[in-house]
């Protein structure tokens, strides 16, 4: 399975990348939405994208909308992983095409539970 972690924080990308690799994902990274679109276009089929909301160049919501507008990535699961906690933001992200929403700070268990809901991991 292939995943991309999109976050402007190198530390968050490293933390999430390590978690995903331990589950068995091959992980790519991008520091913003525009860079993520380039990685997706060059990398073939991805099963999962973990996307921050607040990033320079292209934010996470814009990325979700761009991904959902492109049939190449129709089957990719998208999970927002963000500090945005307002119910309105969650609704907007889900309506835009995100499959799940996880608020920072997160735990390994919380990430695994969300991945299980998406059918991409088993909760241990």
pLDDT tens digits along 10-40? 999 999 999 999 989 999 999 999 999 999 9
What are the boundaries of each domain within the chain?
Answer: 2-117
CATH topology assigned to domain 2-117: Rossmann fold (3.40.50)
Helices marked H in the chain — which ranges? Answer: 10-23, 33-43, 60-68, 87-96, 108-117
Q: What is the pLDDT of residues 56-81, one digit of tens each?
A: 999 999 999 999 999 999 999 999 99
């Amino acid at each position: 399975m292939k995943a991309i972690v999109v976050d402007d924080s190198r530390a968050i990308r490293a933390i999430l990348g390590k978690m995903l690799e331990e589950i068995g994902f091959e992980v790519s990274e991008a520091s913003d939405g525009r860079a993520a679109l380039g990685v997706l276009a060059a990398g073939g089929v991805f099963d999962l994208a973990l996307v921050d909301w607040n990033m320079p160049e292209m934010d996470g919501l814009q990325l979700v909308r761009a991904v959902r507008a492109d049939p190449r990535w129709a089957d990719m699961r998208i999970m927002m992983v963000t500090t945005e906690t307002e119910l309105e933001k969650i609704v907007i992200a889900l309506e835009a095409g995100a499959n799940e929403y996880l608020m920072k700070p997160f735990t390994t268990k919380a990430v695994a539970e969300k991945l299980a809901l998406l059918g991409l991991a088993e909760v241990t």
